Structure 1
């Protein structure tokens, strides 16, 4: 499948002004966010962008406030690489819009919706898009009953976390107890979800383009936190499919992204059923940008290196782009 990205619209880094690279924060994904943020910052600096690091939303508010007082320290736009929590749930997006500061990634609605896996799947169901069978488990709810309803094997995961935080793979009854122990202490909703065995894929989205799919083949039984961020033996096959199937998965990912109210850039995770059917799983609105991350791997297949990818994402904050708030 031949595909090309449009050429960058700008070549002068001065068009971006002073860019706050927002990273870190207080979510369970803090360390991954710091890793991503350092990489993005280095990439933007290498392209001549006047970029600086900001750790968390309170520090961003201080930076914007200081910039109102001292113009030389202004914040002209935000590159959001704050994974999880308020970086992806609409809080940061609403704040930036209230302050009139353009930012990368989807807007308030798309960000708030897609951090909640359960509500995202409900929207996909309403739109007639395929997603794996699931059961909602409210805080203090009966996880065992939800698992029985779906039938083994299943995954159990928090509805509003990422990076495989709190995910349990339950293949037999003996696997259930650690998930039950987690559920007793966890204050939020859990998602019990049918386990699909036909392959795990992800598709990066950049503007109106779905990047080549990546098939993820971990050395272990599944793609857990270790396989994502630590292991060196996880295989990433890109493109993940061939011919019509590759076209299908990219089209499905783009449809799922848009149906969830998202624009700009992100990543859509897709699983394949044993019968070959593709199922939407979740959307990431501030995808990882570490050395193990997947959107940079897919962009590279189209001849876009890491620094150029960061540049293209940042371009979406300028008038005519496809991101959240724009200049």
Structure 2
């Protein structure tokens, strides 16, 4: 069940599953609900403790007066683990922007992380994506355009957003339990979500440069899970996007994904076939297999 935990005077929405085993913490992507992780967490919680939470301003978590950047997120997670009395090293999963935050946390608190799993994660070199020549794909979809849309939503009341935003769930989201689907629909109708994303986007370039300067992760086990480039190109073509731009974007994105294996001397790259950016929805089995593999290796090492 979801409950609320006070972290630095802010009530955070937390979901815990499982009572035993190695603690697994999931950091969600920007503008993403932890409810989407239902299939992954149902399986992992059979043998492990699983902790999910919404950053301030996201889901039902209160807004915080602190600046929304990865530094704040890292300190909040550290405090959350303290409040929850989790004092053993965690397996840390980070998806998309949550992966950038997870890299920051792992570099800052090396001894707190038993393994890092980056799931189609934002790179600390994300600025390289901004240099790509993608005139058609960027038309009306640049960071600036997206921020303007978020600013418009952030100014609305929740009731106004409920009338304005008719959330259409993806086919994979519609496979989730009905109560989870209801939560996902409400998730996108809260103005605080858009206020938070505005700050996260405005800070992420400076955050990424700072995280890169923090150095490597030594020999920490790092698993890098990437989406399927060919699948993304196929889907983009179905939506009428130019093949040349799709291939350029995917080639660059995958180069950044591959480079994340250089964060540690103990790393593994896994490509989730037939998966989009939402690997946790398209191929939850891949994430579960990677985590279970590491848990098995840890268990064997203790024998």
Q: Which structure has greater helix proportion?
A: 2
TM (norm. structure 1) is 0.37
Higher strand share: 1
Max Rg structure? 1
